[in-house]
Amino acid sequence: MHQDIGLEQAWQLLQEQCPSLGQELVLLDDALGRVLPRNLYAKHDLPPEHQSAVDGYALGESPNADHSYRLCQDQPETGGVPEVLKEGQAVPVNTGGVLPRGTVAVIPHEKVVVEGQYLRVLGNIKPGDNIKRAGEDFARNDILLTAGTQIEPAALGLLAALGIGEVEVFQKPRIAIICLADNIVPPGLEPDRGQMRDSNGPMLSGFISRQGGVVTSVHYRSVTGTSMKNVLEDLCSQTQMIILVGGTYQNGKNTSRLLMEDAGAQVLFWGVLIQPGSHVGAGKLDNTLILSLSGNPAACAVHYHLFAAPVIRSMQGLPWKYRQVVARCSNGFAKRTSSRRLVRGKALWRDSGWEVEVLPGQKPSMLRSWLGCNALIDLPPGGGPIEAGEEVQVILLGEYTDV
């Protein structure tokens, strides 16, 4: 077991022990946000045939200098356009309509004058105008989407256009939460004196859902009749990750670490040299990763983003390293820190570069500092206080990189 390690070493250990996920077929309607395990290829050209890009007229070769055409009379009995457009002929077409062979260009309605059975073009005709060539978007066997792509709305449209109704994706990471504090009760219960409603469970569930995971269950030591060891062992066969909340240092004991050891888990590390984070830990039992996070809500959220979120993303084949930037601190931070400290902040890009605001309520128990939080200001050991206008290192929580 590694003890009191640096943040980067903790990340490395977690990546080495990252659980694996299977794949599943899902309907296109259910594919938004899911991640591809392998490349997807075009089975045919897109568009499949030459098509019109506007409502107007398909034009054959121009027979004369004044660009006058005879409207085609030999329409197919089934409607639509003829197979071939001869010299001097024009035929009405709609946007996306298949063009007959021999089409030189398509001219919009507003750029022609129709006089009986004849059509005169206003202006010049450029060959190829308003024609969508077969395969100009994607040719047959082109890569549509690469492995590791998280499916967005535009990708749904692309797959639908190619007639793909099902897609293979990574399964969603299944995650359970166990609250080990004796005085924390589920949100729906009225707490007795000395008890508190749980805020970490709902908060973590939201974070996990946003990262593509599924919370299978939330358990509370305060109301569970069975032993936590049995609960932990049962959950290991159902999930890829279990998050233990609280009990990192309770009554002088590391309750969560003792629980891991009692269940036979391999403890990967305990204690990370950051503030907050001195009692955070991780273990593994079979293929399930177990993370132990602080029970203080703000500290719990910091720990989730630093330790749980990267693993959840990595399981799905997504980039997991946070983008880090230098930003100007707009309001400063009055405290000095002896250890590396992560300060909750709100970062935004301005014309002059990145700017970050230290959010109010920096105690580990205060949720106020997470309202609007999208960044962690990374203060080195011995850092602070920060003066307004000073440049600081910032971890952007919503942006990721492969490098």
Report how far residue 222's alpha carbon sits from residue 14's, in angstroms, rounded to the nearest whole number.
29
The candidate with the shortest Cα–Cα distance to 168, out of 25, 38, 46, is 25
Chain centre to alpha carbon of residue 356: 23
97 pLDDT above the threshold of 90? yes
Is there a contact between 232 and 245 (Cβ–Cβ < 8 Å)? no
Q: Are residues 177 and 254 in the same domain?
A: yes
Q: How confident is the model at residue 204 (pLDDT cuts 50, 70, 90)?
A: very high
182 pLDDT above the threshold of 60? yes
Q: Are residues 179 and 299 in the same domain?
A: yes
Confidence at residue 77, expressed as pLDDT on a 0 to 100 scale: 46
Amino acid at 330: S
Chain centre to alpha carbon of residue 82: 47
Which tokens belong to 184?
């924390």
Q: What is the pLDDT of residues 37-76, one digit of tens each?
A: 999 999 999 999 999 999 999 999 987 777 889 998 655 5
Q: What is the pLDDT of residues 169-181, one digit of tens each?
A: 999 999 999 999 9
Radius of gyration of the chain (CA): 31
Opening angle at CA 298, ends 292 and 303, nearest 5: 35
Which tokens belong to 340?
């590396």
Q: Are residues 205 and 344 in the same domain?
A: no
Q: Give residue 81's domain range.
A: 51-132
Q: What is the pLDDT of residues 142-163, one digit of tens each?
A: 999 999 999 999 999 999 999 9
| Total count of domains within the chain | 4
Report how far residue 146's alpha carbon sits from residue 191's, in angstroms, rounded to the nearest whole number.
50
Query: Does residue 194 or residue 143 have the better pLDDT?
Result: 143
Q: Are residues 337 and 372 in the same domain?
A: yes
Half-sphere exposure of 152 (CA within 13 A, CB side): 6
Phi, psi of 315 (to 5 degrees): -55, -35
Q: What is the CATH number of the domain that holds 35?
A: 3.90.105.10
Q: Are residues 60 and 156 in the same domain?
A: no
Confidence at residue 78, expressed as pLDDT on a 0 to 100 scale: 46
Confidence at residue 132, expressed as pLDDT on a 0 to 100 scale: 96
Q: Are residues 163 and 205 in the same domain?
A: no
Confidence at residue 309, expressed as pLDDT on a 0 to 100 scale: 97
State the average pLDDT for the chain: 92
Percent of the chain with pLDDT over 90: 81
Q: Are residues 311 and 196 in the same domain?
A: yes
Task: Mark residue 20 as left, alpha or beta (left: phi above 0; alpha: psi -120 to 50; beta: remaining).
Answer: beta
Is there a contact between 144 and 158 (Cβ–Cβ < 8 Å)? yes
Confidence at residue 81, expressed as pLDDT on a 0 to 100 scale: 77
Confidence at residue 79, expressed as pLDDT on a 0 to 100 scale: 53
Q: How confident is the model at residue 80 (pLDDT cuts 50, 70, 90)?
A: low
Report how far residue 309's alpha carbon sits from residue 208's, in angstroms, rounded to the nearest whole number.
7
Q: What is the pLDDT of residues 247-293, one digit of tens each?
A: 866 666 788 999 999 999 999 999 999 998 778 999 999 999 999 99
Q: Are residues 212 and 272 in the same domain?
A: yes
Helix or strand holding residue 155 (H, E)? helix 153-161
Of 163-172, 186-195, 203-212, minimum mean pLDDT range: 186-195
Name the burial class of residue 343, with classes exposed (0-12), middle (13-18) and buried (19+) by CB atoms within 10 angstroms of its CB: buried
Q: Are residues 348 and 244 in the same domain?
A: no
Q: How far is CA 194 from CA 184, 185, 294, 363, in A?
A: 9, 11, 19, 20
Amino acid at 312: I
Confidence at residue 159, expressed as pLDDT on a 0 to 100 scale: 98
Is there a contact between 355 and 330 (Cβ–Cβ < 8 Å)? yes
From 318, 337, 371, the end of a domain falls on 318
Which tokens belong to 55?
């409502």
Confidence at residue 75, expressed as pLDDT on a 0 to 100 scale: 58
Report how far residue 142's alpha carbon sits from residue 149's, in angstroms, rounded to the nearest whole number.
16
Mean pLDDT of 294-303: 95
Q: What is the CATH number of the domain that holds 395?
A: 2.40.340.10
Percent of the chain with pLDDT over 70: 96
Q: Are residues 256 and 307 in the same domain?
A: yes
Q: What is the CATH number of the domain that holds 120?
A: 2.170.190.11
From 318, 348, 378, the end of a domain falls on 318
Q: Are residues 122 and 110 in the same domain?
A: yes
For 368-403, letters b (16+ CB in 10 Å) and e give ebbeebbbbbbbeeebbebeeeeebebbbbeeeeee
Q: What is the CATH number of the domain that holds 16?
A: 3.40.980.10
Q: Are residues 274 and 141 in the same domain?
A: no
Confidence at residue 273, expressed as pLDDT on a 0 to 100 scale: 94
Report how far residue 316's alpha carbon sits from residue 211's, in angstroms, rounded to the nearest whole number.
10
Which tokens belong to 400?
């990721």
Chain centre to alpha carbon of residue 106: 41
Confidence at residue 74, expressed as pLDDT on a 0 to 100 scale: 57
From 170, 192, 216, the end of a domain falls on 170
Confidence at residue 247, expressed as pLDDT on a 0 to 100 scale: 81
Report how far residue 37's alpha carbon sits from residue 237's, in angstroms, rounded to the nearest whole number.
23
Confidence at residue 302, expressed as pLDDT on a 0 to 100 scale: 97
DSSP codes joined into one string, 250-317: BTTB-HHHHHHHHTTPEEEEEEESEES-TT-EEEEETTEEEEEE-SSHHHHHHHIIIIIHHHHHHHTT
